[in-house]
Amino acid sequence: MMVMKKDSSFWEKLKQLCQRENIDRIVLGWCEDLQPDISDFFSRLSQICPVVKVDETLTTKRGVDRMLKEGVSRKQRQKKKDVFAAMAILEEFFQGGENV
């Protein structure tokens, strides 16, 4: 998993990364409620590499629950909630729950 800052060179860096690392698809957390907000992002991303949409409903909650179970402090939970949500999205993908 990699996090990239979406600055002015984001799209070019992403394209280069996909080519350099032979990335054959990108997994994107997708929520129907936010669909209008991210549809442009999805379209642009699809021009670079095939994109698999995974339902991200309740992934933040699942991530927080996991951190609670693992004894992660409140401060660390706040910092890491997006990372754990992304992990839940990837787990869903690998378990065959992809494609919204």
pTM, two decimal places: 0.76
pLDDT at 33: 75
Report yes or no on 99 lying in a domain: no
Over residues 17-68, the pLDDT tens digits come to 999 999 999 999 888 776 777 888 899 999 999 999 998 888 989 999 999 9
Report yes or no on 54 lying in a domain: yes
31: left (phi over 0), alpha (psi -120 to 50) or beta: beta
- Cα gap 93→96, rounded to integer Å: 5
- Cα gap 73→89, rounded to integer Å: 22
pLDDT at 99: 56
* Three-class DSSP labels, 41-85: HHHHHHCCCCEEEEECCCHHHHHHHHHHHCCCCHHHHHHHHHHHH
Give the domain extent around 66: 25-94
Report yes or no on 17 lying in a domain: no
If one counts the domains in the chain, the total is 1
Over residues 60-97, the pLDDT tens digits come to 899 999 999 999 999 999 999 988 999 999 998 998 85
